[in-house]
Every structure is written in C-alpha cells, then in structure tokens.
Amino acid sequence: MKTLTTFFILFLIASTTFGQIKYEKGYFINNDHQRVECWIKNLEWKNNPTEFSYKLTEPAAPVVGTLATVREFGITGCCKFIQANVKIDRQVKPVIGTKNELVPVWSKEKLFLKVLQEGKAKLYSYDSNKLKRFFYSLNDTAINQLIYLETLNGSTLIKNTGYQQQLWSTLKAPDATMNSIKAVNYTRKDLENYFKTYNESFGGTTQEIREEKKGSYFNLKLTPGLNSATVSMSAVADGTNKKFLSDFGTKSGFRIGLESELIIPFNNYNWGILFEPTFQSYHSETEGKYGLSTVKYSSIEFPIGLRYYIPINDNTRLYLNGFIVPGFAMNLNSKIGYYSFFQNVKSPNTVDIKSSGSAAFGGGVEHKRFSLETRYYTSRNLLNGQSIGSADYSRLSIILGYKFIKTRLK
C-alpha cells in the first residue's frame, strides 16, 4: 500500500505539472481591429466565456484575453465569439405582471456572444447555467435579444413569444406567413433554419459557424500484466464456535485482458468508457495447525469503468481510471480446501469459490499505442454467501497495454 500511495502522489504531481487541455489554432481581433493568429485553449465552453487563454506561439507562455481587450476570437473548426454591448433579460423565473403577462427586465452588459450564423441577418447565442438567450442583428446594425420568457402559474404555462413578432416585423422572409413563423421554436435548430432561409431568400449567402462534428472513437487493447495478490481466510471449525485463520500470503501471477474503450467527444476526448474482460488466477497453499489449506482460484472477470485522460503532448497522455468489478464472474474450477479440528488430515473440506463484487482504481501513461498502468483492486470475499466464513482476496496489478484497433465512429 505504501508503494501504491507513493505512485498516486507522484501521478497527481505529474498531472498537475503537465496536464492541460490542448491549445488549438485560432485567432483574435484586438481593440485596434488587428487580427492576431494564435493558439487558443479550447475549453468547449458550455457557458459563454468572459475570458480565454491563448499563446502567440505553441511554446510561448499563455496570455489571458478578456472582454476589455478582445473584440472577437475563434478556434478553427470549432467556434467564434464576438464582444458586444447588449441589453439582456436574465430572468430564469419571470414574475407575472398585472395583465397576466411576462415582461423582460433589461440590463446593459458587455458579453462574448457565440456566432451561430452570418449573412444579411446574423444569429448569436448566450448560455449561462440555466439561462439560454438568442440575439440577432440585421445589416450589421445593433445586436438585440430575441425575446422569449416562460413560467408556470400553478399548472398553467405562460409564455412571452415576442421573438416571433420580432421575426415578423424585422426579419420577415418573403415567403413567410404568420403560421410559419409561429412554428419556429426558440431553439438553436429552428432559429438557424429560419435565418438561413431568410438570408438565402434575398439572394445572399449564409455562413453557419458550426462546430466540427465530432464522432466517438472505439479502441480495442490487449492488456497482459502481472498480479501481486493476497488471500486471508477466516473460517469457523466444524462443531465449534472457534475460528481459525489461514494467511495464504502474497503470490505473483499472470493476468490478461481485452479492453474495449469508447472515447466520447466530451471535454476534448478526455473521457473513456471501459469494459475489460480479464483472466486472472491465484494458487497458493499454507500449512496450518490442523493441516494443509489450499486456494485454487482462476476466473474471468468483467470490470466496467471510466477513464480520464490528461494530455501531455500529441503522443503522450497520463490517465486515471476507476472500475466496478461485478460479483458475476466465470470461476474456472475454483476451490478452497481447508482442515478443521475433527477431521483426518487426508480428508479436507472443499468449498467452491463464489466471489463478491469489488472496485478497482489506477493510473498510468499512454504513448501512441502503448500504455503502462498500475491498478489496485479492493478486497473481495471468495466465500460470498457461505456460512463458514470469509476469504478476502485483493491484488495490485502492473498492466502493459497495446492498442491494436483504433477507429472513429460516425
């Protein structure tokens, strides 16, 4: 355990020192209207940022761009934000007015708005926790919020769909009807489609500032390794209330697994979902007061887990993972033999191994297709559900991995 603790302390230090979200190629426009090519830290902002980190060159020190210093910034194939002074209604739960209506409460703010569409009419979005707002501008004039509010009055849903009137009076496409505009929901998809139709209906073009579609990745990895495992047994002797202990000691053994990993397009592909059928075995014997006790344990387990990657560079990543190891396993003729007070030494008790579930956690380093990991498995009872006692099994594994399949899923 001291070795394991030391490993994780060093791992966390290394993660803090080297771990970072990747900087990607982008640009910003400063207050002097100068465009500066740079590298921007892509945080895949769920909420609109108030600042961002950039480097003028990849090896350079990071600099912070803010609303006070940057008019616009973007990441190639990802996103674009502009600085804007706007009126915004931040009511999450609007107050119902005397006429049973919802009225915007405006505040003037400087924000980074996300650009969704460009053309004669431009569409922008702003997200902040539970707040979702869309904005528009026409012919590069002032940017205004598209008004939409809703709240519950008892069981009645009250809405202010002012954005539909705005579309009708300011952004009416030639073929639009009131019914077609009423069918436009206050969602990104519906508004993008409407703005695209509007821009194209006037003979212009529309440019969608859309994130590059990211598919998941599927990896298949062979994971051989070595186990350092222990079993300690506590059982009740036949016909007595006395317990006897058997410490089978630490034994080294071979393990091999086939790890399936689904890398999901979240947080720059830093999360993976794992499933790793694993063969492992432990064979040992110990001479006790009443005879020789033996453990023969071989099984195929089916751990399910999560992994988090910490990039160092394009080819190397650190990672942490955790697993749930279900009690269900394929136990391959696995038994424990032990002796009690009233038995002839030539006739031991033999019980089948039925293990409980456990957990595992570990960390390692991956370089290109190879990985090296240390993983600790918490104790599991090999005599689960049996009245004679318990046999606690735990192990520490050193695992070498080779990724022989890596494919992108559409």
> Using one digit for the tens of pLDDT, what is the confidence trace for 30-62?
999 999 999 999 888 889 999 999 999 988 999
Query: Residue 110: pLDDT above 60?
Result: yes
Query: Residue 334: pLDDT above 80?
Result: yes
> Using one digit for the tens of pLDDT, what is the confidence trace for 250-297?
999 999 999 999 998 877 788 999 999 999 999 998 876 666 788 899
CA-to-CA distance for 227 and 138, rounded, in angstroms? 67
Query: Residue 156: pLDDT above 90?
Result: no
For residue 74, what pLDDT is reported?
95
- Average pLDDT on 146-164 reads 91
C-alpha pair distances (Å), 366 with each of 132, 252, 319: 39, 24, 8
Q: In the chain, what are the domain boundaries?
A: 19-208, 217-408
Query: Residue 19: pLDDT above 50?
Result: no
Query: Residue 392: pLDDT above 80?
Result: yes
For residue 4, what pLDDT is reported?
47
Mean pLDDT for all residues in the chain = 87
**346: alpha, beta or left? (left if phi > 0; alpha if psi -120 to 50):** alpha
- Could you say which of 1.10.3720.10, 3.90.25.10, 2.40.160.20, 3.40.50.2300 is the CATH number of the domain covering 217-408? 2.40.160.20
Beta bridge partner(s), residue 217: 263, 408
Beta bridge partner(s), residue 326: none
Q: How does residue 337 score in pLDDT terms, banded at 50, 70 and 90? A: confident
Between 234 and 177, the more confident residue is 177
Output the CA torsion 399→402→403→405 (10° steps): -130
For residue 183, what pLDDT is reported?
95
Between 110 and 173, the more confident residue is 110
Query: Residue 18: pLDDT above 50?
Result: no
Query: Residue 327: pLDDT above 80?
Result: yes
- Average pLDDT on 190-210 reads 81
- Average pLDDT on 333-357 reads 72
Beta bridge partner(s), residue 185: none
Query: Does an H or E element contain 77, and which?
Result: none
- Average pLDDT on 125-129 reads 93
Query: Residue 6: pLDDT above 60?
Result: no
For residue 283, what pLDDT is reported?
92
Query: Residue 312: pLDDT above 50?
Result: yes
Within 13 Å and on the Cβ side, how many CA atoms surround 301?
26
For residue 212, what pLDDT is reported?
57
For residue 290, what pLDDT is reported?
61
Query: Residue 311: pLDDT above 70?
Result: yes
> Using one digit for the tens of pLDDT, what is the confidence trace for 85-95?
999 999 988 98
Lowest mean pLDDT among 20-29, 32-41, 225-234, 361-370: 20-29
Residues, the chain: 410
- Quote the percentage of the chain above a pLDDT of 90: 59
CA-to-CA distance for 332 and 353, rounded, in angstroms? 9
For residue 35, what pLDDT is reported?
96
For residue 205, what pLDDT is reported?
62
Scan for tokens 């104790």, then name that residue.
379
CA-to-CA distance for 319 and 401, rounded, in angstroms? 13
CB 30 within 8 A of CB 37: no
Q: How does residue 72 score in pLDDT terms, banded at 50, 70 and 90? A: very high
CB 295 within 8 A of CB 282: yes
